[in-house]
Structure 1
Amino acid sequence: MIFIMERSHVIRPAFLLAATALVFPAAAVAQQAQFSTERLKQHVQTLGSDAYEGRGVATRAETKTVDYLISQFKAAGVQPGGDIVNGKRQWTQKVPLLKSDIVGTQHLEFRTPTGAVALNQGQQIAVRAPLNGQREVALNAVPMVFAGYGVTAPERQWDDFKDVDVRGKVIVVLVNDPDFEGGEGNFGGKAMTYYGRWTYKYEEAARRGAAGVLVVHETEPASYGWNTVKNSNTNTMFDIVRQNPRASHAPLEGWIQRDVAANLLRDAGIDFEAAKQAAKRRDFRPMDMKSTFTAHYGAKTEVINSQNVVGLLPGKTRPDETVIYSGHWDHLGIGLPQADGDRIYNGALDNATGISHILEQARAFARGPRPDRSIVFLAVTAEEKGLLGSEYYARNPLYPAAKTVGVLNTDSMGVFGRERDFSISGTAKLDLLDLLIAEGRRQGRTFTADPHPESGGFYRSDHFTMAKVGIPAISFKPGLNLVNGGIARGEAISKEYTEKRYHQPDDEYQPSWDFSGMAEDAALLHAVGLRLANGNDWPNWSQDSEFRAARDQSAAERMGSGPAPAAQPLPAEQPQSGERG
């Protein structure tokens, strides 16, 4: 999930893509879908309740959640859009995942020049259940190296490792990328690149044959507190099933607290802040920490099948072309208790709200005039475990990426009343954003660019996996300039949620929540999807986007495939509910 970030000001965009003039039918704009705040609330209240046990992947709560989503898609009036089995579409797409749990007690210890330092899981350190296929982590006095930001970026003439061989060692790296604190440099300034994400740092450690990697947690560059790290990394881990998992995962992956890292470096005669300053420079070289790490714990690993849930509304004239509404149904399940003993990580905001939105989009489209292109409603699994359900879909699309018009993702919607503005995660430039801004103006609302691109929001939700295969994709974010209370109230709510509820058991439904803003956001996203579904154009990324080449290649695939076959759309199933509108 990408959680709500503070906003200090409204930025009116000056980067509309003049190079591309998309034309959408005016008739599509006239339809204004109405969304029921009561139905939106009921979905959130249900999925975010204790009865759904935090919607953990591969638990009994998954079965219950999937059953609920299918029943609601049926009631909405759409049809199955998942795997084809014996010639018939199913409601789900099977997603094979590697599941891993730490079993037994963990022995975790640093040995520094001043002696042994015992570590407690979830306190000073958060190690993950291994995802490289092994059933045991056994590191015995492995040397440790401080590797700066852990980045190798040849196109930026940057290499934190130089000629230092880290095979068989544990590397300690900083979160985010070298430009974070100074706001300028070789990585594009304040906005985080993918090199700043912890996922990249794990991948690079594996590529270099490291025995382990520990990311140093600091709240500001991570953009979340230690509780989020602890709760997200000390429970069941998942990954897509890989042919060679050891190429993607070192034996040990985890995080350590900032002060733990500072003490380790101090014992080696190195000042932590001085080491950070050195890591910002291109001439940085890895530093011997003069310490070792010992880690022993067992793991239970198995391959399980999770499920993406997929609804489909076939298009009237071009059913082979699709618009996707996506969001993740999972959360963290049952985990470590907080002070009051609560162990259920309900995920009411993250992401019962996004799923509620998708269900009601299905209802609105099914009850309106049938659009020309097909609409896919995609509720993906295992987002909280690394965007896995959407990554599996992107690698194994049910509907070809080349003929997917765009993806509108929702990951945490606004439940604090109507907003004067709206945003997206990250600072990507693409035609979909231009269209969103234009439709927002029809509501009398303004676009607020993400004022905290250093948080890496673009890489933290399910639209990112779609973008990697070229599909234009945005993750919508509600505004913080609230009609009731303005920016000051919006920022206060954002801060309170991030500190006390994000990835914590207190992300629970609140009777005080006001769904009027979410309903207005749903109407905005409906208008965008409707224009895409009734249009003829193929949105693209900006010319300088790293995703442009993949999209351009898909355009060549579309043109090379010849005219679409004259397929007849299947009739939608009749709604099981008499509700309308």
Structure 2
Amino acid sequence: MFIKNHSIYLLSVLLVLSCTSESEKLESALQSISVQDIQARIETLASDDFAGRAPSTPGEVKTINYLAQQFKEIGLKPGNGESYFQEVSLIKIYADKSMVFNISNGKKKLSPEFAKEFIGGTPQIGDYIMVDNSEIVFVGYGINAPEYGWNDYEGLDVKGKTVLMLINDPGYATSDSTLFEGRTMSLYGRWTYKFEEAARQGATAAIIIHETGAAAYPWGVVQNSWYDSKLYLEDNMFLKSDLQLQSWVTTECAQKLFDLAGVNYNEISVSASKRGFKPVKMNVTASVSIKNKVEYAKSNNVAAVWPGKDKSDEYLIYTAHWDHFGVNPAFEGDSVLNGAVDNATGTAALLEIAEAFTKLAKQQDRSVLFLAVTCEEQGLLGSEFYAKNPLFPLEKTVGVVNIDALNILGKTKDMTITGMGKSNLDHYAVSVLEKYGRYAAPDPMPEKGGYFRSDHISFVNAGVQALYLSRGVDNVEHGKKWGMEQTEKWIVENYHKPSDNYEPEKWDFEGMIEDLKIYFEVGYLISNAK
């Protein structure tokens, strides 16, 4: 009995000593993560001097040079040979705000007002783009998903036609858990997928009907994203397609279109979410002419490496997008979209975490790549480019930790794993959160499709394990209901608007700092995992 108890005692002591030793290894690193540092870095990145950090602008030059200089001063090596930059070749297509978009039934005509009722542009590079009396077909949700037994295009030839479709997917519309992923938006609910599928099907034009709940953001977000210009990777699928127009219309405009066609909008929208739905020929046509202005542009991902020790040829990647929307004169008064929360905070986090790794008492086993990507706001283009053109082999990339918008509302009991259960990296986050007396929670608003709206998904699509860990909502002081309400309030009032400013007098940094330490410790565990 004595020997047994003594053995248990010795094991307990060894465990305590092991934990103590591990804590000592991390102590200097964790102490380096400070309110003063993160504030200074966010303030710089979100300043008017950086002009909203739009790709391929003077604001980009200032942003990427600042990041490269910071990484260099911290002590990280360039991630691309002798350079901190990975050049991304782009096509920039400006919106033709004078374009005339007409919908006709032969007797009456509907001409929606640009930006107010409809918005969009061409993905093609010709000087003059024309769609002439293209037959409009309502294709429900515009989805072809064999694994779900769903094909809105079945038996339909849309070559030369304009496809009209709803945003999100039937699971969201019906809350039916047997359809797609129920209320959780699937890949097929994303606007990017819908335009791509329309192109694959051979359509001439595509129109998405906006609805705030289903899209997960108000019309103003769509306006801002499409009002000035759109960026595409130089090698993109649309150039090889016949798709001449990508566009959105408001719900109100869609109702007018359906009235013009003599079709009941509400009834047909409901039927589109049921199995067996058949496309509806609207007996109206779409016409548009676009004077195209195209530029070939360059942007940059910023890459910096902290080398590992025993497994230095293997990599953990931390990602955050540095870009935002620049300056938009359509906003009266303050027209600079500084993107303080989205995503100056996440970009500053890369610098904080990088510095913490340099303070470790013992170097981690694997190398850590800090990757600040461009063009997330344009459709995850920077991360897509990296995944197709990796600086380090993807088969040697053990995982990705993505950071997109930090917590400004104070300490929470939880942190969110968006896409919880989809990655084998989840348990690292769960373990670290438990150490801090906190818990991991799934996305509280899965209907918004967050899993498909940030840069980790580019790596997932390339077969790399990725963890999208983000701020929690279960506020320590005010509770979960308050946290949800405040998060939703912030989205409505500030998301992709000039009001997303750095406001230290309003922000609570205590939760942000603890979250940063958790991000660091999660990466530390992954970088040393056996």
Same fold (TM over 0.5): yes
The answer to whether the 8 Å contact 1:219/1:226 transfers is yes
Match of 1:432 among 425, 434, 445: 425
Structure 1 residues 66 and 312, CA gap change in structure 2 (3 angstroms): same
Q: Aligned to 1:375, what secondary structure does the other structure show?
A: strand
Q: Does 1:135 align with 2:130?
A: no
Measured after TM superposition, the shift of residue 465 of structure 1 is 0.2
Q: Aligned to 1:378, what secondary structure does the other structure show?
A: strand
- State the match for 2:352 in structure 1: 360
Q: Does 1:77 align with 2:75?
A: yes
- State the match for 2:90 in structure 1: 97
Q: Kindly provide the CA deviation profile for residues 211-234 of structure 1, in whole angstroms up to 9, marking residues without a partner as x.
A: 111111011111111111111122
Measured after TM superposition, the shift of residue 460 of structure 1 is 0.4
Measured after TM superposition, the shift of residue 243 of structure 1 is 6.4
Q: Aligned to 2:459, what secondary structure does the other structure show?
A: helix
| Structure-1 separation of matches of 2:241 and 2:303 | 29
- RCO higher in 1 or 2 (8 Å CA, sep ≥ 6)? 1
- State the match for 1:183 in structure 2: 175
Q: Aligned to 1:480, what secondary structure does the other structure show?
A: coil
Match of 1:288 among 257, 265, 281: 281
Match of 2:188 among 181, 189, 195: 195
- State the match for 1:565 in structure 2: none
| Structure-2 separation of matches of 1:487 and 1:145 | 44
Q: Kindly provide the CA deviation profile for residues 253-307 of structure 1, in whole angstroms up to 9, marking residues without a partner as x.
A: 0111011112211222211111111111221111112222221222222322210
Q: Does 1:331 align with 2:331?
A: no
Please say which of residues 415-424 and 434-443 is displaced more in the overlay.
415-424
The answer to whether the 8 Å contact 1:320/1:403 transfers is yes
| Structure-2 separation of matches of 1:66 and 1:40 | 17
Measured after TM superposition, the shift of residue 250 of structure 1 is 1.7
Measured after TM superposition, the shift of residue 103 of structure 1 is 4.4
The answer to whether the 8 Å contact 1:218/1:258 transfers is yes
The answer to whether the 8 Å contact 1:58/1:305 transfers is yes
| Structure-2 separation of matches of 1:29 and 1:405 | 24
Percent identity, please.
36
- State the match for 1:531 in structure 2: 525
- State the match for 1:306 in structure 2: 299
Measured after TM superposition, the shift of residue 375 of structure 1 is 0.7
Q: Does 1:317 align with 2:315?
A: no
| Structure-2 separation of matches of 1:534 and 1:265 | 59
| Structure-2 separation of matches of 1:390 and 1:266 | 42
Q: Does 1:448 align with 2:441?
A: yes
Structure 1 residues 271 and 29, CA gap change in structure 2 (3 angstroms): farther
1:137-536 paired onto structure 2 within 5 Å: 137-184=129-176, 185-242=178-235, 245-247=238-240, 250-338=243-331, 340-368=332-360, 369-510=362-503, 511-536=505-530
Q: Kindly provide the CA deviation profile for residues 459-481 of structure 1, in whole angstroms up to 9, marking residues without a partner as x.
A: 10000000111111122210111
Q: Kindly provide the CA deviation profile for residues 160-213 of structure 1, in whole angstroms up to 9, marking residues without a partner as x.
A: 122221111111100011111222233132222111111111011101111111
The answer to whether the 8 Å contact 2:143/2:150 transfers is yes
Structure 1 residues 436 and 174, CA gap change in structure 2 (3 angstroms): same
| Structure-1 separation of matches of 2:43 and 2:220 | 24
Q: Aligned to 2:197, what secondary structure does the other structure show?
A: helix
Structure 1 residues 172 and 244, CA gap change in structure 2 (3 angstroms): closer
Q: Aligned to 1:180, what secondary structure does the other structure show?
A: helix
Q: Kindly provide the CA deviation profile for residues 30-62 of structure 1, in whole angstroms up to 9, marking residues without a partner as x.
A: 624131111111111111121111100110100
The answer to whether the 8 Å contact 1:203/1:248 transfers is no
- State the match for 2:5 in structure 1: none
Structure 1 residues 239 and 111, CA gap change in structure 2 (3 angstroms): same
Q: Aligned to 2:353, what secondary structure does the other structure show?
A: helix
Structure 2 unmatched ranges of 5 or more = 1-17
Q: Kindly provide the CA deviation profile for residues 472-493 of structure 1, in whole angstroms up to 9, marking residues without a partner as x.
A: 1122210111223222332232
| Structure-2 separation of matches of 1:248 and 1:219 | 29
The answer to whether the 8 Å contact 1:331/1:346 transfers is yes
Measured after TM superposition, the shift of residue 150 of structure 1 is 0.5
Q: Aligned to 2:65, what secondary structure does the other structure show?
A: helix
| Structure-2 separation of matches of 1:252 and 1:220 | 24
Structure 1 residues 234 and 243, CA gap change in structure 2 (3 angstroms): closer
Structure 1 unmatched ranges of 5 or more = 1-24, 537-581
Measured after TM superposition, the shift of residue 354 of structure 1 is 0.3
- What amino acid sits opposite 2:296 in the alignment? V
Structure 1 residues 277 and 347, CA gap change in structure 2 (3 angstroms): same
- State the match for 2:58 in structure 1: 60
Measured after TM superposition, the shift of residue 441 of structure 1 is 0.6
- What amino acid sits opposite 1:370 in the alignment? Q
Match of 2:38 among 37, 40, 47: 40
Please say which of residues 507-516 and 460-469 is displaced more in the overlay.
507-516
| Structure-1 separation of matches of 2:73 and 2:272 | 56
Please say which of residues 424-433 and 266-275 is displaced more in the overlay.
424-433
Q: Aligned to 1:384, what secondary structure does the other structure show?
A: coil
Q: Aligned to 1:149, what secondary structure does the other structure show?
A: coil
Q: Aligned to 1:365, what secondary structure does the other structure show?
A: helix
The answer to whether the 8 Å contact 2:101/2:288 transfers is yes
The answer to whether the 8 Å contact 1:112/1:264 transfers is no
| Structure-2 separation of matches of 1:92 and 1:249 | 34
The answer to whether the 8 Å contact 1:233/1:254 transfers is no
Structure 1 residues 478 and 104, CA gap change in structure 2 (3 angstroms): closer
- State the match for 1:553 in structure 2: none
| Structure-1 separation of matches of 2:322 and 2:132 | 40
- What amino acid sits opposite 2:395 in the alignment? A
Q: Aligned to 1:307, what secondary structure does the other structure show?
A: strand
Q: Aligned to 1:520, what secondary structure does the other structure show?
A: helix
The answer to whether the 8 Å contact 2:86/2:300 transfers is yes
| Structure-1 separation of matches of 2:236 and 2:211 | 34
| Structure-2 separation of matches of 1:203 and 1:124 | 23
Runs of 4 or more, structure 1, over 4 Å off, are 25-30
Q: Aligned to 1:65, what secondary structure does the other structure show?
A: helix
TM-score between the two structures when normalised by the length of structure 2: 0.92
The answer to whether the 8 Å contact 1:106/1:297 transfers is yes
CA RMSD between the two structures: 1.7
| Structure-1 separation of matches of 2:430 and 2:23 | 14
- What amino acid sits opposite 1:515 in the alignment? F
Q: Aligned to 2:371, what secondary structure does the other structure show?
A: strand
Measured after TM superposition, the shift of residue 336 of structure 1 is 4.3
Structure 1 residues 115 and 420, CA gap change in structure 2 (3 angstroms): same
| Structure-2 separation of matches of 1:534 and 1:156 | 39
Query: Across the two proteins, how many residue pairs are aligned to each other?
Result: 505
The answer to whether the 8 Å contact 2:85/2:303 transfers is yes
- What amino acid sits opposite 2:506 in the alignment? S
- What amino acid sits opposite 1:265 in the alignment? F
Q: Does 1:115 align with 2:108?
A: yes
